[in-house]
Structure 1
Amino acid sequence: MEWFNVGKIVNTHGIRGEVRVMSRTDFPEERFAIGTKLGLFKPDAKKPIMVKIASHRQHKNFELLTFEGYPTINDVAEFKEAYLRIAEHDLTELEEGAFYHHEILGCTVFSTEGQEIGVVSEILETGANDVWEVKPKKGKMHYIPYIEDVVKEIDINEKKVVIEVLEGLLSE
């Protein structure tokens, strides 16, 4: 079974079993809803500890969660640095034209003229729009904004993206 990161536990919060989570999802209300089951992967663990969310609230830039059966700080202290992941079969369908990051990562990027530019290696969330880090076979990394003027076609099945190369877009 494949698992996808939705957050990282960075610390505990208070004494009542809350953990502070750095969210890695665009859908925190859905992913961290009460009753949701997630896989908790401690560092270097191959198998998850299955946890069920008992409470969720936001505090500053973090999600604060408690898990059923873990009522105190002592119960959750060992979870620091663990990743919260969702099983692939629990991913929801996205609307047309929207993609999960794991679907875009690894796609080969081509210009509208058919020139291979590189492979999407990272997705940076900048606020206004995502920026795709594209690694060429040689040379400097390219940073491609995920906007309509640039990204013209995405074919997830073929792992192919076609972009309009605007002047100054690609690193020399």
Structure 2
Amino acid sequence: MNTLDVTVATIGRAHGLRGEIALILRTDQPEERLGRGARFEVSTGAGPRSLTVRSTRRQQERWYVSFDEVSDRTDAESLRGVELVLAVDAEDEAAEDPDAWYPSQLTGLTVRHVDGRELGTVQGVEHYPAQDLLVVRATDRRRVQLPLVEQLVPEVDLEAGIVLANPPGGLFDALPEDEQGPEPETSAPPERPRG
């Protein structure tokens, strides 16, 4: 079976005293992927850990989860920022939505401007509450973060290995020599008088 890693959610802050946790969703199928008994193998600062969904609930468009293994606020807070990732069957996912793509599939794709110029290579995707950012290693070796919104990334063609981008002016352009800021000082600072 050909599997695909799908980020379901990022763990947010603790909610209450009994280990309930707010989630930042990364899936459009939370009911299916976060069902009772769903199991996630995660990496934390303390090492690998298993988390099994005990229950989920929604309140004012926010999702909250309780795990069998998390029983208090301190433990819940220690998980903040951890991504919940599931391995799913790639063929089933493709059959469900042939135009869908996942962040793990973007790494290594060539980023081209809508005018045909090569801009760089996708290094990954960073998730933020407002929007996701496509991390691109530009052709001049700089690290560029491109908001992953349809206006700026109108097309992802997995078969061709291309991400089509329409970035705002200057985002991928190197700064001219005279606009790169002052040169760092290389001389030693003056000695202070001793008193």
Distance 1:142 1:154 in 2: 19
Q: What is the TM-score normalised by the length of structure 2?
A: 0.59
> What is the letter of the counterpart of residue 105 of structure 1?
T
Aligned match for 1:29, one of 28, 31, 50:
31
- 2:100 paired with 1:101: no
> What is the letter of the counterpart of residue 136 of structure 1?
A
1:51-106 CA deviation, whole Å, 9 max, x = no partner?
22111112356421112354x32684464336243342467514111101111133
> What is the letter of the counterpart of residue 67 of structure 2?
F
- 2:72 paired with 1:73: yes
Quote the offset at 1:162 in angstroms.
Answer: 5.5
1:117 maps to 119
Aligned CA distance change for structure 1 residues 53 and 168 (closer, same or farther; 3 Å): same
More displaced stretch, 75-84 vs 97-106: 75-84
Quote the offset at 1:145 in angstroms.
Answer: 6.1
1:39–1:84 contact (8 Å) kept in structure 2: no
> What is the letter of the counterpart of residue 23 of structure 2?
V
Aligned CA distance change for structure 1 residues 26 and 74 (closer, same or farther; 3 Å): same
Aligned CA distance change for structure 1 residues 2 and 83 (closer, same or farther; 3 Å): farther
1:40–1:83 contact (8 Å) kept in structure 2: yes
Quote the offset at 1:18 in angstroms.
Answer: 1.3
Q: What runs of 5+ residues in structure 1 fail to find an aligned partner?
A: none
Q: CA RMSD in A?
A: 4.1
Q: Percent identity?
A: 22
Q: Equivalent residue of 2:93, what SS? A: coil
Higher-Rg structure is 2
- What is the correspondence of 1:108-147 to structure 2 with a 5 Å cutoff? 108-111=110-113, 115-121=117-123, 122=125, 132-138=134-140, 141=144, 143=146, 147=150
Distance 1:44 1:136 in 2: 35
2:85 maps to 86
Distance 2:42 2:80 in 1: 10
Q: What runs of 5+ residues in structure 2 fail to find an aligned partner?
A: 174-195
Q: What is the TM-score normalised by the length of structure 1?
A: 0.65
1:40–1:84 contact (8 Å) kept in structure 2: yes
Q: Equivalent residue of 2:36, what SS? A: coil
